[in-house]
Structure 1
Amino acid sequence: MPFTIVAQVKKERLLALNPQVKTGKLKNGFSYYIQKNVEPKNRAILYLVVKAGSILENENQRGLAHFMEHMSFNGTKHFPKNELIEYLQKSGIRFGADLNAYTGFDETVYQLPIPTDNQQILKNGMLILRDWAQDACLDPEEIERERGVVLEEKRLRAGARQRVQDQTLPSLLNYSKYVKRLPIGTEEVLKNFTPEVIRSFYKDWYRPDLQAVIVVGDVDVQAIEAEIKRLFANLKMPAQAKKQQSYNIALDGKNKFKTVTDPELSETTIEILVKHKEQVIRREIDFKENLIRNLFSGMFAARLAEASKRSNAPFMKLNGGFGALMGGLNVLSISLTPRKDEFESGFKAAWTEVEGINRNGFTESELLRMKQQVVAQMEASLREKDKQTSTALADQYKVHFLKGEAVPGIEREFNLVKRMLPEITLAKVNGVAKTLMKAINRDVIITAPTAEKVNLPDENTVYTWMNTVQRSVIKPYVEAKTGRGLLSKRPVNGSIVGERQIPELGLTEWTLSNGARVVLKPTDYKNDEIVFLALSKGGTSLYRDADYESAANAAGIIASFGLGDHDNISLPKVLNGKQASVKPFIGDRVEGLQGGASVKDMGVAMELIHLYFTEPRKDTALFHTIIRNSAQQINMRYTDPNNIFADTVATVLGNYHPRKSGPTLDKLRSITLDKAFNIYQERFSDAGDFTFFFVGSFNIDTLRLQAEQYLASLPAKGLKEQANDLGIRTPTGKISKTVLSGKEDKATVKLVFTGDYEFNAQNNLSLIALQEILQFRLTERLRETEAGVYTPSVQIARTKYPANRYSFTVNFGCAPANVEKLIAATLEELKKLREKGVLATDLQKFKAEQIRQNELMENNNGFWLNYLSLQYLDDEDPKAFLKANETIEQLDTATLHAAAKAYLKEDNFIRFVLLPDL
């Protein structure tokens, strides 16, 4: 019998690797993956993957795997000191946004997106990977400078969430080594380790048998392979290579219970987590078992989500699913947020849903829907097989190298799913459900605000509730029939009464018989992606302050009720398997709809658009549930210091206007269902005032027919509204606001500079350039020189309506003791820009980055949708983008010096600081 079992295992077919990828291993053990892929064109993504993370650290190295990742950007053999980032920025690669890395428990991964239309940049990109692999300088002076940066990164993570994790993670991870090897490390080690200790980690674990290069993009595969062999074949193994021990979290068969309270938590949550051994997909049988688990997870999540949507549900949130944990474990998770004073009834109701699945299983209709959903997702992926992003492909090969997970390629995966799905019966899925829901290796974790501590159940109480449910009669799940389609009757067609072309952009504009305008940009950036947006001017600005809350929340409330003949539970079932979504919104100055669809399901999306205009639903019971749940959230909102700070910022920047301050119970009580419903109808009763934008892979003749049927048939009143100017402006002068809240030794700083300006293309570009250049300067000053922050950020905002206004906002976190020093350093950098102007090297970096970004954006449907809608909304020329790079090239330091003098002034300067209330 043992021989037979071994023979059967050997016969199990391993899933072959995607035939489009070229793989190999050098004599020193170094691995590589290379694939030609032209999405995006003239770009490649380069990864260096190291099978070494924090789990391999010694006690005196805790945090140094992550610190090593930082040091790889602080000097290598061919790019000493900060030359690496300088060189890449001049090549158009942004630090943080593009160039990045991460350290996990079991791996460290470096990511470098690189242009491939310049062979020298590509060759240097490969050289950078080679330097990271074994030639980081680890200069003692650079190590000392980086200590502060890493300690600030650690400081940023401090807070209620981290404190809760510190208390819950040990039992969740079965007291394994993973608990003591969090990648961020310990403050003691980070402050005190010597250069020799980190060099030891680098020497031991950055070695060829634990490394791989992944190159996916618009490259010559043979040339890249030759370059990999040339650069990486001479990587050396340590003279006495340490054995890499394999770490996994062992299942101990025990159930655990943990309650954690914290004064800064804003809600009570109970999580039930059932741990299982991870099953890596290597063979066809693994693929099939994973497919069954995915079907279960989707059905499980859908059942719980449906329960949470019911107006009489005694809980605010209920969700769950099956997925990865860490350390070789997967987990079935159930998360419940009970209503205040309804913990017992909420828990029992939630556990009844879970126990009902365990006892009675799913239904054939649920399985059929989930199979349809899986097929629809696979078909969508298959249609985009030649448009997959290089990053998505590289991520798959990363997992293959780290875990041996199969990557058969989308065509093979689709064929496997198509063959296996009919073989998967309801009995098989229900059998897996029982296995995954076993009452062993189960953790129950309750987290709550400290104020709720006296109301929390203990372990015996929770298990008593579970046992009560398990002894009760639970009727099998029965769902209402949803045989009807979306529309009860087809609308009477309108017509297209006007058409014009903008050939430079490939745009077509239609005027519909009801007055609506349609702007179309057919593209081939994706094979099966259509995105759309409908906009009309007005928004909440048309309503008095007393009705503002009803107006601002109307779209979200009404959309939560369902649509047409379908309530919020039946609508998702009608849309199951359809690649179509639409969401209404009402903003300060506009209202509209946004969404997307596949080519096949664009008709479904059009039906949804039509229904959001003509058949919104009204659900009194669900409305009261929404208000009650919102009241509980508001009551607990201000236990979180970040909410207090955010609301303070919003209130001051909004000049204390009631529309700009934070949520309150009085505001919530001012919302009525009738007001919200009537306002929604008013905003969407006149389609003739809307402009519809469509971008993507549509057939213009097909869309013409759909527009005539579903858009031109919408009601119209012939009105052309404009948004009102409510006169809300950021206050002038110098203002300082300090908020004392929180218990961690950390501060949050926000500096805001505002003013009037002339809205035009040149000034807008100058603002963008100053934002990026100030980002360069503050990163260099606050992070590299002062070592006082992890990552500062600079943001600009500009508006044409209701007034030409701009703002610069600088954000960073730091130690409270360093607040004044770092604010002074920030203001000093602004002063330098005003007085001395912009460095030519900084302008060069901005130009390179922005031009490279424009090259990527012009092949992106989402960019064009956003760009076109804003240009039309602001009454600007949509053809401006065609000259964007030319305009950038013409930008000079004199123009930016003048802009810095005008826009980086401290006349209107507001400083916000959040400090701990110790």
Structure 2
Amino acid sequence: MNYKLITQGMMLCLLAVVVAGQTSFAQQLDKKIPFDAQVRTGKLKNGLKYYIRKNAKPEKRVELRLAVNAGSMQENDNQQGLAHFVEHMAFNGTKNFKKNELVSYLQSAGVKFGAHLNAYTSFDETVYMLRLPTDKQEVMDKGFQILEDWAHNVSFDNKEIDKERGVVIEEWRLGRGAGQRMRDQYFPVLLNDSRYAKRLPIGKKKILENFKYNTLKQFYKDWYRPDLMAVVVVGDIDLDAMEKKIKQHFSRLKPVKNVREKKLYPVPPHQKTFVSINTDKEAPFSQVQIIYKKPLKKVKNLTDYRQQIINRFHSGMLNQRLRELTEKADPPFINAGFYYGSFIRSIDAYSGSVLANGDDILGGLRVALTESKRVRKHGFTKGEFERYKKTILNSYKRAYNERKKTDSKSFAREYVAHFLQKEPTPGVKFEYEFVKKVLPTITLAEVNALSKKWITKDNRVIIINAPEKKGVIVPTEAQVRTVLKEVAFNAVKPYKDKAVGTKLMDKMPTAGKVTNTKTYPKSGTTELTLSNGIVVTLKPTDFKDDQVLFNGYSLGGYSLAAAKNHVSAIYASQIIVASGVSKFKAADLRKMMAGKSVSVKPYIREVTHGVSGATTPQDLETALQMTHLYFTQPRKDETAFKSMKNQYKSMMQNLMANPNFYFQDQLTKIKNQNHPRAAGFFPTKEELEKIDLDQTMAFYKRIFSNGQNFKFVFVGNFKVDKIKPLLEKYIGSLPTTQQKATFKDLGIRPPKGKVTKKLYKGKDPKSQVHLSFMGAAKYSTKDASLIKALAEALSIKLIEKLREEKGGVYGAGAYSYMQKKPYDNYAIVVSFPCAPNNVDDLVTATMGEIKKIQKSGISSKDLKKVQAQQIRSMETNMKNNRYWLNTLRSAYVNEKDREKITEYEQSIQALNSKDMQKAAQKYFDMKNYIKVVLYPETMKK
């Protein structure tokens, strides 16, 4: 018998089967992308479309969307900014809800303005968003009535229009600054003087101030019509009931006759490369954008969908190369990235962005273009390709694993995109199965071929935005074109892909043992004490199927460092993360983690230090190994250290010329009275020079060498019995000493008395107001709850007073905190932006609202709003892994009873006006607060 002939025959048969299978699969790719079968869709007789999906995450909640396929591109010349203005007016009175009734009613149902009730307007669309509780029929009924009113029953009361002018102009004011000024210069170049360059959604101030009422109403009449609308409903709902409601409410919209045509406006092509160079004294960084505009490509069939995956390979692998370059001792740029995708409605683009290193703008451009050319000339390596294949598959696998626990707003966003831009919506199950089938058919040659398609001389735009500052060398257009020619003609060598190991640990540690177990039934937690003294709290959940979060902390932090090593201690954890662990550089770790979901990072704060992590059940052991190595084998890397210092130096060069960064930096110094041991908003050049790598390593090893004082919290999808052996092996084996955990109170305190400071920065006519009531106060859970409720109640009143009544702000709010360490203290902070000439009036109004609460407490109406919002927030928090992780960690740090975490409703219901009044009298001390206001430089005397 001829064995050789039989083997060849078998191979031929196998090859025939494979070829036949590929042919069959190739034929399948001609099919249209299916629509997700779990979504019920329909179209009313008037042309309105709808999407409905049942989804139980979060429970007892529904996401409502009204998508209008019209935006600023549909404005007439005298309507610039009015598409956005219409959106504002939708919240200022409708047929069934008078001024303020709409927002006020929803707040009483636990809906937060901004978080659960919002809208946006862009070039081509306007979308209204509303999240409602589903357990009260009245709320659901009114929610749908609100959605219907937005669609065709906005009131447009003339007085309210005039009031809202101030609010919209304040939003316009917020957008002013260096970025806006440079954008105004390069947009006409980038968009080749197309209509897009002339229709920014915020509009023109002169028009906003002076438009006629009917001009606004005409936009609503022309473009808010059912054939341009879709309603999206996703949540813990009954499909039939929701479809009935949609038909009941939205069939009332009358179809419009003689409609205005909605055009898709083109961006004219160009053969020559356009270059736009822009400078501004307030620009904090030097940035380069490289854009290759491409014809719009709609994704219609499975071949197109496959191509999208191929595109991901190219961008992902190139960006990994670029990230490696940032880790050099003298990096060519701070960061850089390239992406392919939708640019605006009428075009796609292959776009790159480079944050330049210092004043070497041309150098950053040259390196980014060179790396693109390296790919174009030599392609990617097989190793890169195989690793990224694992990364892509893992991302789809995670989405598939979480398909039953995906938040409804993600689905709502997806269906809105399908309506507006026909984005594919096949459903995660189909996507995962398709990717598993299609990945083996994608070749490296297909990925490598993309560069020649994408990187072309036509429709190319180079944009440079840089600080106007002495020492920053801004290139000329001629120099930019010279770089383009140099890169085009210079030879490039292939990329060398360094092989990495396949496992983190060559030798496994000697496991410890669980010596004590304690259960807490109310919080559903188990506390383990390990033989080395480390305490671990476990909270198994089913909130996410593919998530495990953890945090280990100890008292100490950079407070334990000697004063001379203070700066080295503050940045120690960042340096370690940049350096890697054991024998692996940071880049090596990324390569090893391809196909895994592992994020582990050490941190060092003022009085605590530790490690935080996020992973999946299947990658938990890898995450624990990395945790173990961050404790036992931090890596000293001179190159990574120099790279980080150089990047910080570069970023700091003009940062303080920007009014926003300057304000935050000065505010931080005022609050800590320029204490030499306080961590600043950003490191200064002098501080960076003080960082010493040997001191950094010595301090890091010292505070992480004693595991006994650490307490870990694990929350997510795991079983206590199954996780125990892993904890014994990797946490129970950490080295410990008998030294007790402690921290030092560095004496960092806010100033006492009434402190007022005026800051002057920037040329735009805008101010930023910051009021801080803060100081020492004995920590108590009750008072922490009271000042939280006070801040929320005050936020409601500030929106009513400063925005709705005075039209003086776009947004205003308050927040609070109370903590035990480093000393018992609290803060209630109020902040808002506004026009400089309105500062005094708005601050007076703010103080007036605070004094009203001190004098009379808060009204029963506002108290119910605060309680409803807190209860509704806690209902979702109780099903959130991140919330549980942070709350359990806080219970350790602030010595709170974890068993009371679930008793939130009782404590919220116990809130009363009298207690809040007393708290306001105690914590809003009118003789002890900080007021800092930023003004433009033109107002400086």
Does the pair score TM above 0.5? yes
Q: Look up the equivalent residue of 2:140 and give its one-letter code.
A: L
Q: Look up the equivalent residue of 1:544 and give its one-letter code.
A: A
Give how far 1:728 is off. Answer: 1.5
1:795 aligns with 2:815: yes
Q: What is the CA–CA distance in structure 1 between the aligned matches of 2:288 and 2:156, rounded to whole Å?
A: 45
Give how far 1:182 is off. Answer: 0.7
- Maintained 8 Å contact 1:515/1:718: no
CA gap of 1:590–1:824, structure 2 versus 1, over 3 A, is same
Quote the residue 1:689 is aligned against. Answer: 709
1:632 aligns with 2:650: yes
SS in 1 for 2:770: strand
Q: What is the CA–CA distance in structure 2 between the aligned matches of 1:313 and 1:890, rounded to whole Å?
A: 57
CA gap of 1:784–1:430, structure 2 versus 1, over 3 A, is same
- Maintained 8 Å contact 2:55/2:234: yes
Q: What is the CA–CA distance in structure 2 between the aligned matches of 1:740 and 1:175, rounded to whole Å?
A: 36
Q: What is the CA–CA distance in structure 2 between the aligned matches of 1:175 and 1:54, rounded to whole Å?
A: 16
Give how far 1:634 is off. Answer: 2.5
Q: Look up the equivalent residue of 1:148 and give its one-letter code.
A: G
1:91 aligns with 2:147: no
Q: How many residues align?
A: 911
Q: What is the CA–CA distance in structure 1 between the aligned matches of 2:646 and 2:134, rounded to whole Å?
A: 56
Give how far 1:457 is off. Answer: 2.1
CA gap of 1:338–1:777, structure 2 versus 1, over 3 A, is closer
> TM-score, length-normalised on structure 2?
0.95
Q: Look up the equivalent residue of 1:267 and give its one-letter code.
A: F
Residue 716 of structure 1 is aligned with which of 736, 742, 746?
736
Q: Which moved more, 1:387-396 or 1:229-238?
A: 229-238
Q: Look up the equivalent residue of 2:887 and give its one-letter code.
A: Y
Give how far 1:312 is off. Answer: 4.2
SS in 1 for 2:603: strand
Quote the residue 2:928 is aligned against. Answer: 908
Quote the residue 1:765 is aligned against. Answer: 785
Q: Look up the equivalent residue of 2:699 and give its one-letter code.
A: I
1:490 aligns with 2:484: no
Residue 377 of structure 2 is aligned with which of 359, 371, 394?
359
SS in 2 for 1:600: helix
SS in 1 for 2:218: helix
Q: Which moved more, 1:298-307 or 1:74-83?
A: 298-307
> TM-score, length-normalised on structure 1?
0.97
Q: Look up the equivalent residue of 1:194 and give its one-letter code.
A: K
- Maintained 8 Å contact 2:387/2:594: yes
Give how far 1:250 is off. Answer: 3.9
Give how far 1:315 is off. Answer: 3.1
1:747 aligns with 2:767: yes
Q: Give CA deviations for 1:148-185 in whole Å, capped at 9, x if unaligned.
A: 00000000110011111111111111211011111101
Give how far 1:595 is off. Answer: 1.2
Q: Look up the equivalent residue of 2:410 and give its one-letter code.
A: A
1:214 aligns with 2:232: yes
Give how far 1:49 is off. Answer: 0.6
Q: What is the CA–CA distance in structure 1 between the aligned matches of 2:202 and 2:184, rounded to whole Å?
A: 13
- Maintained 8 Å contact 2:171/2:810: yes
Give how far 1:456 is off. Answer: 2.2
Give how far 1:828 is off. Answer: 1.0
SS in 2 for 1:509: strand
Equivalent residue runs for 1:6-45 within 5 Å: 12-45=30-63
Q: What is the CA–CA distance in structure 2 between the aligned matches of 1:629 and 1:42, rounded to whole Å?
A: 47
- Maintained 8 Å contact 2:794/2:813: no
SS in 2 for 1:325: strand
Q: Look up the equivalent residue of 2:464 and give its one-letter code.
A: I
Quote the residue 1:415 is aligned against. Answer: 433
1:126 aligns with 2:144: yes
CA gap of 1:321–1:313, structure 2 versus 1, over 3 A, is same
SS in 2 for 1:29: coil
SS in 1 for 2:446: helix
Q: What is the CA–CA distance in structure 2 between the aligned matches of 1:819 and 1:362, rounded to whole Å?
A: 57
Q: Give CA deviations for 1:226-276 in whole Å, capped at 9, x if unaligned.
A: 111111112012343222222243433442001100001122222211112
Q: What is the CA–CA distance in structure 2 between the aligned matches of 1:558 and 1:401, rounded to whole Å?
A: 46
- Maintained 8 Å contact 2:551/2:613: yes
Q: What is the CA–CA distance in structure 1 between the aligned matches of 2:811 and 2:876, rounded to whole Å?
A: 25
Give how far 1:454 is off. Answer: 7.3
- Maintained 8 Å contact 2:598/2:616: yes
Give how far 1:69 is off. Answer: 0.5
Q: What is the CA–CA distance in structure 1 between the aligned matches of 2:717 and 2:190, rounded to whole Å?
A: 47
Q: What is the CA–CA distance in structure 2 between the aligned matches of 1:751 and 1:454, rounded to whole Å?
A: 36
SS in 1 for 2:344: coil
1:517 aligns with 2:548: no
- Maintained 8 Å contact 2:331/2:357: no
- Maintained 8 Å contact 1:307/1:318: no
Q: What is the CA–CA distance in structure 1 between the aligned matches of 2:369 and 2:256, rounded to whole Å?
A: 54
Give how far 1:335 is off. Answer: 2.5
Quote the residue 1:594 is aligned against. Answer: 612
- Maintained 8 Å contact 2:286/2:361: no
Residue 401 of structure 1 is aligned with which of 419, 423, 430?
419
Q: Look up the equivalent residue of 2:586 and give its one-letter code.
A: N
Q: Look up the equivalent residue of 2:165 and give its one-letter code.
A: R
- Maintained 8 Å contact 1:261/1:453: no
Quote the residue 1:780 is aligned against. Answer: 800
Q: Which moved more, 1:730-739 or 1:474-483?
A: 474-483
- Maintained 8 Å contact 2:57/2:235: yes
- Maintained 8 Å contact 1:203/1:238: no
Q: Look up the equivalent residue of 2:404 and give its one-letter code.
A: D
1:383 aligns with 2:401: yes
Quote the residue 1:5 is aligned against. Answer: none
Q: Which moved more, 1:538-547 or 1:36-45?
A: 538-547
- Maintained 8 Å contact 1:304/1:320: no
Quote the residue 1:859 is aligned against. Answer: 879
Residue 327 of structure 1 is aligned with which of 337, 345, 355?
345
Q: What is the CA–CA distance in structure 2 between the aligned matches of 1:598 and 1:610, rounded to whole Å?
A: 17
SS in 2 for 1:894: helix
Q: What is the CA–CA distance in structure 2 between the aligned matches of 1:665 and 1:386, rounded to whole Å?
A: 50
Give how far 1:351 is off. Answer: 2.6
SS in 2 for 1:768: helix
CA gap of 1:906–1:618, structure 2 versus 1, over 3 A, is same
Structure 1 stretches of 5 or more lacking a match?
A: 1-7
- Maintained 8 Å contact 1:300/1:321: no
SS in 1 for 2:553: strand
- Maintained 8 Å contact 2:533/2:709: yes
1:469 aligns with 2:484: no
Q: Look up the equivalent residue of 2:454 and give its one-letter code.
A: L
1:545 aligns with 2:563: yes
- Percent identity among equivalent residues? 39
Q: What is the CA–CA distance in structure 2 between the aligned matches of 1:239 and 1:559, rounded to whole Å?
A: 63
Give how far 1:461 is off. Answer: 1.8
CA gap of 1:105–1:307, structure 2 versus 1, over 3 A, is same
Quote the residue 2:9 is aligned against. Answer: none
Q: Which moved more, 1:92-101 or 1:415-424?
A: 415-424
Equivalent residue runs for 1:333-372 within 5 Å: 333-340=351-358, 342-372=360-390
SS in 1 for 2:571: helix
- Maintained 8 Å contact 1:283/1:406: no
SS in 2 for 1:753: strand
Q: Look up the equivalent residue of 1:157 and give its one-letter code.
A: G
Q: Look up the equivalent residue of 2:251 and give its one-letter code.
A: A
SS in 2 for 1:336: strand
SS in 1 for 2:461: strand
- Maintained 8 Å contact 2:523/2:901: no
Give how far 1:343 is off. Answer: 4.3
Q: What is the CA–CA distance in structure 2 between the aligned matches of 1:641 and 1:651, rounded to whole Å?
A: 15
Q: How large is the Cα RMSD of the aligned pairs?
A: 1.6
- Maintained 8 Å contact 1:269/1:447: yes
Give how far 1:459 is off. Answer: 2.2
Residue 695 of structure 2 is aligned with which of 670, 675, 681?
675
SS in 2 for 1:706: helix
Equivalent residue runs for 1:791-870 within 5 Å: 791-870=811-890
Give how far 1:677 is off. Answer: 0.7
CA gap of 1:484–1:294, structure 2 versus 1, over 3 A, is closer
Quote the residue 1:702 is aligned against. Answer: 722
- Maintained 8 Å contact 2:358/2:653: no
Q: What is the CA–CA distance in structure 2 between the aligned matches of 1:705 and 1:432, rounded to whole Å?
A: 48
Q: What is the CA–CA distance in structure 1 between the aligned matches of 2:146 and 2:349, rounded to whole Å?
A: 38
SS in 2 for 1:912: strand
Quote the residue 2:12 is aligned against. Answer: none
SS in 2 for 1:810: strand
Quote the residue 2:302 is aligned against. Answer: 284
